[in-house]
Chains A and B, each alone.
Chain A
Amino acid sequence: MNLFKILADLEKVDPEVMDRLNHRRSALAALGNITKKITLATAPAILGAAFNKTLAQGAGSPLNDVLNYALLLERLEAAFYIQALQAPTLTAAFTGNAGIRTGIEKIRDNENAHVKLLEAALGTNAAAAPRGFNFTAAYADLPTFLTFAQAFEDLGVRAYKGQAGNISRTATATIPSVSVTNAGQTSTVAIGTVNVLQVALQIHATEARHAAYVRYLRRQPALGSSGSAGNQFGWITLAQNNGAPAAVYGAGNGAAFPAESNVSQANVDLTTLMATPAYTAAEVSEAFDEALDSAKVREIATPFILP
């Protein structure tokens, strides 16, 4: 069954469906609303898909749903770097830029570790991995690869941020240990009982470091930076995508998920807060990263996931 296609279609009908379906007890109510918006012919398939998803995701535990969502994104990111480092079209570029290869390997190692960590936290509730991922279009050359890397990292930062409110600050996970590989060295790391919200924040910050590194690489003229990417630093100015998919920087579903160009925080418009010198919209937008809802994130990620 082409689950992601169906879910993507479902989101077009009802953008908030993914959020509602994350709570099993509200799934029936949500589906009731959905069926009013779609044709009768497609209803059975959508209903079936929705129930499959509900049953597959940790029997409706909201925390497991969040963790499985994070796991999907980490699997996507890990696969993106694993495949890039093996892509014939990028071999020469990586050989000629050993420093960049090392940096990308470090990111790959972090993403692999995130996958291991989340799988261990979920245990038997971990969702099955997708059949595969397809990033062929992203590996045309080094600048193209870095453009997509920026998109995935910036998207990851927004995705984690969007889940902060869905994780109880007292939720814990007990992970005896995980086996990870860093710079070619495999080791077993003891973890223990951890606060889930804190770990999510720690992953979130790591993703932001990745994003800043890749963004700064794209600033370097020697790496083939062209146009607007040559002016960017590690942070996001307004909703400038600089070659990456615009949706990564755009608004999500609902008022809680404005575009990266947002200048108002907690009802304080920071462009008018100070008289002299006033902060510009660009400066204010750079100072705050924005969250993105899971439906929008999945919509952006789906084309890279093999059904």
Chain B
Amino acid sequence: MSTPLQTPENGLDLGGALQKPIQRRSFLRYSGATLAVGGLLLAGCDDDDEGDVTAEVQLGTGNVGVLNYAYALEQLEAAFYAQVIATPYTGITADETAALRAIARHEAIHRDFFKAAITRDAPGQIIGNLTPNFSAVTFSSRQSVLETARTFEDLGVAAYNGAGRLIDTSNAAGATYLLLAGKIVSVEARHAAQIRDIIQLGSFANDVVNAVGLDRALTPTEVLAAAQPFIRERINGSQIGS
């Protein structure tokens, strides 16, 4: 089931939106790095779902790299929740359905926001649609789905927390994107706590908030190592910084 993250059901229709006049500010500092995004063409050509070797997706450097990094993670989260909604687990409650449907929308909004913003502000530098690999997830199982959701949300929080200082805020564009990361990360933290409290009420901060009250912060290398098993393309974030 090599389903693209951008399925027709949750796909993008950016054509109409981007024909609208969008203020074309120089949001991003381009740092001259070449971005290898063409390898995605290979993704759909492999019949072997389980062991396919696909090309590398280079996230890039500077602020574009950070934005592509966030876009990659949001693609992963959005695809996961789209599948959860499409095939609800056995015994799902009305409250759980409502919460998961809302989270699915939030993640799709994050994904589509990054796609629009990167396309507008860094033409030609956006990564393509990633192909998820959820073979480790049993979507009919409440435990499997909620524990995967917990993993993704906690990871997302740690990713944004670690990436904040990688955003160059020496211009207004960078400052805008740092603030946007802040606007998104707290929602991811709300998701993480919500999922955790659905699993067990009161576990909102267990084992992710340390003794001095700090949530986790991870480098792109650490985050991508954890996310890679869920993505068929090889994600290269080595140029983002750490």
Q: Answer yes or no: do A and B interact.
A: yes
A287 near B187 with CB under 8 A, answer yes
What is the CA–CA distance of A201 and B192 in the complex, to the nearest angstrom? 15
Q: Which residue of B lies closest to A197 (CB)?
A: B165
Given the known A-B contacts A195-B165, A209-B209, A275-B13, are A266 and B217 also in contact in the complex, defined by CB atoms under 8 Å?
no
List of B residues within 8 angstroms of A161 by Cβ: 179, 182-183, 186
Q: How many whole Å from B11's CB to the nearest CB in chain A?
A: 9
Q: Which residue of B lies closest to A169 (CB)?
A: B165
B162 near A198 with CB under 8 A, answer yes
Interface centre among B16, B180, B205, by most chain A C-beta atoms within 10 angstroms, is: B205
List of A residues within 8 angstroms of B95 by Cβ: 219
Q: How many whole Å from B21's CB to the nearest CB in chain A?
A: 10
List of A residues within 8 angstroms of B122 by Cβ: none
B109 near A270 with CB under 8 A, answer yes
- Binary interface profile of B, 29-59, with partner A (CB < 8 Å = 1, else 0)? 0000000000000000000000000000000
Q: Which residue of B lies closest to A280 (CB)?
A: B105
B102 near A286 with CB under 8 A, answer yes
User: Is residue B193 within 8 Å, beta carbon to beta carbon, of the partner chain?
Assistant: yes
What is the CA–CA distance of A219 and B109 in the complex, to the nearest angstrom? 25
What is the CA–CA distance of A283 and B178 in the complex, to the nearest angstrom? 22
List of A residues within 8 angstroms of B188 by Cβ: 205
Given the known A-B contacts A213-B204, A234-B190, A276-B13, are A199 and B102 also in contact in the complex, defined by CB atoms under 8 Å?
no
User: Is residue A288 within 8 Å, beta carbon to beta carbon, of the partner chain?
Assistant: yes
B212 near A201 with CB under 8 A, answer no
Q: Give chain B's interface secondary structure class.
A: helix
Given the known A-B contacts A161-B183, A235-B102, are A110 and B161 also in contact in the complex, defined by CB atoms under 8 Å?
no
Given the known A-B contacts A209-B209, A213-B204, A283-B105, are A199 and B214 also in contact in the complex, defined by CB atoms under 8 Å?
yes
Q: Which chain B residues numbered 174 to 223 have a C-beta less than 8 Å away from chain A?
A: 175-180, 182-194, 197, 201-202, 204-205, 209-217
Q: Which residue of B lies closest to A100 (CB)?
A: B202
- For A169, give its contact among B106, B169, B192, B204 (CB under 8 Å): B169
Interface centre among A209, A210, A265, A284, by most chain B C-beta atoms within 10 angstroms, is: A209
A114 near B213 with CB under 8 A, answer yes
Q: Give chain A's interface secondary structure class.
A: helix
A201 near B209 with CB under 8 A, answer no
Q: Which chain B residues numbered 81 to 118 have a C-beta less than 8 Å away from chain A?
A: 95, 98-99, 102, 105-106, 108-110, 112-113, 116-117
Q: Which residue of B lies closest to A262 (CB)?
A: B183
Q: Which residue of A lies closest to B117 (CB)?
A: A266
List of B residues within 8 angstroms of A73 by Cβ: none
User: Is residue B160 within 8 Å, beta carbon to beta carbon, of the partner chain?
Assistant: yes
B179 near A106 with CB under 8 A, answer no
B179 near A216 with CB under 8 A, answer no
A265 near B215 with CB under 8 A, answer no
Q: How many whole Å from B218's CB to the nearest CB in chain A?
A: 11
User: Is residue A240 within 8 Å, beta carbon to beta carbon, of the partner chain?
Assistant: no
User: Is residue A111 within 8 Å, beta carbon to beta carbon, of the partner chain?
Assistant: yes
List of A residues within 8 angstroms of B192 by Cβ: 209, 212
List of A residues within 8 angstroms of B113 by Cβ: 265-266, 268, 270, 273, 287
A110 near B112 with CB under 8 A, answer no
User: Is residue A102 within 8 Å, beta carbon to beta carbon, of the partner chain?
Assistant: yes
Interface centre among A111, A273, A284, by most chain B C-beta atoms within 10 angstroms, is: A273
B184 near A288 with CB under 8 A, answer yes
- For B190, give its contact among A178, A208, A217 (CB under 8 Å): A208
- For B109, give its contact among A191, A199, A256, A279 (CB under 8 Å): A279
B204 near A267 with CB under 8 A, answer no
B109 near A201 with CB under 8 A, answer no
List of A residues within 8 angstroms of B110 by Cβ: 287
Which residues of A come within 8 Å of B, CB atoms? 99-100, 102-103, 106, 109-114, 116-117, 157, 160-161, 164-165, 169-170, 178, 180, 182, 187, 189, 191, 195, 197-199, 201-213, 215-217, 219, 233-235, 256, 265-268, 270, 272-276, 279, 283-284, 286-291
Which residues of B come within 8 Å of A, CB atoms? 12-14, 16-17, 22-23, 27, 95, 98-99, 102, 105-106, 108-110, 112-113, 116-117, 120, 157, 160-162, 164-169, 175-180, 182-194, 197, 201-202, 204-205, 209-217
Q: Can you show 28 pairs from A to B with CB atoms below 8 A apart?
A: A99-B202, A103-B204, A113-B213, A116-B212, A117-B214, A161-B186, A191-B212, A195-B165, A197-B164, A197-B165, A204-B186, A205-B185, A206-B215, A208-B193, A209-B189, A210-B204, A211-B193, A212-B192, A212-B194, A213-B204, A233-B102, A233-B194, A234-B193, A235-B194, A273-B116, A279-B108, A283-B102, A287-B106
